[in-house]
Structures are given as structure tokens and as C-alpha cells.
Amino acid sequence: MSGNRVDFELLGDAAIAVTPELAASVPAAPSPSQAQAQPQQSAGGYAPPVAGTSKPDKTTVGICAILLGSIGIHKFLLGFQTEGIIMLAVTLGAGMFTCGASSIVMGVIGLIEGIIYLTMSDQDFDRTYIEGKKKWF
């Protein structure tokens, strides 16, 4: 059998394959003590994202309100869990007893809110719904 020999080096659960031609250009892996001692830096000079600090995008919330407004997805995106649960419960729970009429009402509310979100400026949207925490319309 012909071909190149490939060496593997195990690093924890990972394996690195190095061909003989590339062996000279691949830097040596740090020892576990060196790897723990050095702080990790992200490539490109960007800081790694911090969980929970992003605000909802106006366009995303508006489109979700128009398409999925009857089940309150846009309320959950804005951080209004109680209002989202109310819309979901009215759509699913009351919708069974009203043959879907309550679902239509929640859909219209979602449509109206979606149009309101999309027609506002970004600054007004942030001021009203993100900072001001306005829950309905």
C-alpha cells in the first residue's frame, strides 16, 4: 500500500492529524498547564458575546407578530412572558370553545402590533417597547 504517513497527536478528546509536509509549519500544542494559564482571546479582536445582553430586533419582532401573532411569539421575544402566555392560552384554550373565533381575534391583535412595530423608527421602538416596557399596542 502506498501513500503518505499521517501522525496523530491526541489532545484530550481531540486528535490532530499532521502530514509530514505540514509538520514543520504546525506550532506545537501547549501543555495542559500552559493552556490553562493563558487567557483565551477571540480572533479578530472582537470580544466573545455575553449571554442575555442582546435586545430584540424591531424587524424580527414585527414579522413574528404578523405571522405568529395569534400565539404571542412577539411578546416572548420582547420579554413579556405573561402577555405571551395570555395570547397563547386564548388562542389554544378559548379557541377550542369558540370554534377559532378567539384565535382570529388574537391574530388581528398580532397583525396590528406587527404593523405598529414595523412602522415605528428604531429609536421609538427601543424607547417604547424595550426601555419603556409597553406591553400592549
- Mean pLDDT over all residues of the chain? 80
Domain boundaries, the chain: 58-131
Query: pLDDT, tens digit, for every residue of 10-25?
Result: 666 665 655 666 666 6
pLDDT of residue 111: 96
Q: What is the spatial distance between Cα 27 and Cα 35, in angstroms, rounded to a whole number? A: 14
**pLDDT tens-place string over residues 92-123:** 988 888 888 999 999 999 999 999 999 999 99
Note if the pTM is more than 0.95: no
Distance, in Å, from the CA atom of 117 to the CA atom of 66, rounded to the nearest integer, reads: 10
pLDDT at 85 (0 to 100)? 95
For residues 64 and 66, give the distance between their C-alpha atoms in angstroms, rounded to a whole number: 5
Helix, strand and coil content of the chain, in percent to the nearest 5, comes to 55, 5, 35
Mean pLDDT over 67-84 rounds to 94
